[in-house]
A and B are shown apart, each in its own frame.
Chain A
């Protein structure tokens, strides 16, 4: 059946600028970058584990409790965070399998999972701050000496803790907005407009 309105609309629709030059090139570049970033995360976690094992070994050999505490932080926290980030990424919606409302519902679940990850980042910040307290306590109770190394290490740990906490609070605000938007989109899609 002829539909003059739709036929004219189709002509106008296709008259818009829809340049696709460079899409393939950018796609290849983006995919390579994604692989690089993901590989980099696992390499960083591997380096942290190796450094942690090195610290632990040196700490045991030298009888330095501070190195053992630093090793424990490296061995537990970084691989844990890498694993959590990897799990969140695996939750990417199934773009080809779901209808749009299903995708938004999955996104809601993903937002909630990411918020849990943010709690983990906050927990990490508290752990780093606690490590600083423990290192100074160990030093003051005679397990080591107050030196420049201790100052540098604890300052770095505190800076990492502040960065992790700041990032988690900032991300949490964005996630709340994303969640509210998902709820509105879901309602719009389920109510058929």
Chain B
């Protein structure tokens, strides 16, 4: 059976990037990574097919991240992440470092609607259409449609 240490070694950086697409603040992002790894640790004994580890790990990551967004909304003074980002409330510090291409891309990904953000982050992590469909419970054709729309929105944001 795959151990949690092996999962962290293989997918740890990808999990951090997925978490960053939901959570801009460093401390909260680290908390989210932790919540994701705990959820993976709990779910690992139920993994039937080792070949499906990648979509299994990313499905848990996105599921845990979505629940994190909802729970954050319950805290006083916390605006919902996607809503705040769509309103263009990037903090000044983020705007300054946002000149870097990588930062600009991450910021643009965060501003995508949730359904597109999930598909595009998995595509950026090199998952095949089949694996993305498996991870998000979508049809392969739906993955293609969402990815194309996500790319169009990303291009518009990065060019704009």
Question: CB within 8 A of A193: which of B80, B103, B113?
Answer: B113
- Say yes or no: B115 contacts A188, CB within 8 Å: yes
- Say yes or no: B126 contacts A177, CB within 8 Å: no
Interface centre among A30, A31, A102, A193 (most CB of B within 10 A): A193
- On chain B, the residues within 8 Å of A185 by CB distance are 66, 69-70, 114
- Say yes or no: B142 contacts A31, CB within 8 Å: no
Given A13-B105, A15-B102, are A193 and B70 neighbors across the interface (CB < 8 Å)? no
- Say yes or no: A192 contacts B101, CB within 8 Å: no
- Say yes or no: A181 contacts B70, CB within 8 Å: yes
Complex CA distance for A175 and B76, rounded to whole angstroms: 11
Does residue A76 face the partner (Cβ distance < 8 Å to B)?
no
Given A6-B151, A178-B73, A193-B115, are A15 and B60 neighbors across the interface (CB < 8 Å)? no
A:55-88 near B, CB below 8 Å: none
Which candidate, A45-53, A93-101, A124-132, A140-148, is the interface stretch facing chain B?
A: A93-101
Closest to B26 in A: A17
Question: CB within 8 A of A16: which of B17, B37, B56?
Answer: B17
Complex CA distance for A185 and B69, rounded to whole angstroms: 9
- On chain A, the residues within 8 Å of B82 by CB distance are 188
- Say yes or no: B70 contacts A182, CB within 8 Å: yes
- Say yes or no: B136 contacts A99, CB within 8 Å: yes
Complex CA distance for A164 and B104, rounded to whole angstroms: 46
Given A5-B151, A12-B105, A95-B64, are A100 and B124 neighbors across the interface (CB < 8 Å)? no
Residues of chain A touching chain B, judged by Cβ–Cβ distance below 8 Å, are 5-6, 9-10, 12-16, 18-20, 23-24, 26-27, 30-31, 34, 93, 95-104, 107, 173-175, 177-178, 180-182, 184-185, 188-189, 191-193
Residues of chain B touching chain A, judged by Cβ–Cβ distance below 8 Å, are 4-5, 8, 12-17, 20, 33-34, 37-43, 46-47, 56, 59-60, 62-64, 66-67, 69-71, 73-76, 80, 82-83, 101-106, 109, 112-116, 118, 123-126, 136-138, 142, 145-146, 149, 151, 154-155
What are 20 pairs between A and B in contact, CB < 8 Å? Answer: A5-B155, A18-B16, A18-B17, A18-B20, A24-B4, A24-B8, A26-B34, A95-B40, A95-B64, A96-B39, A102-B137, A173-B76, A178-B73, A181-B74, A185-B69, A185-B114, A188-B115, A189-B114, A192-B142, A193-B149
Please give 8 more A-B residue pairs, beta carbons under 8 A apart, in addition to A20-B16, A178-B70, A192-B142: A9-B154, A15-B101, A18-B12, A18-B14, A23-B37, A103-B63, A185-B70, A188-B113
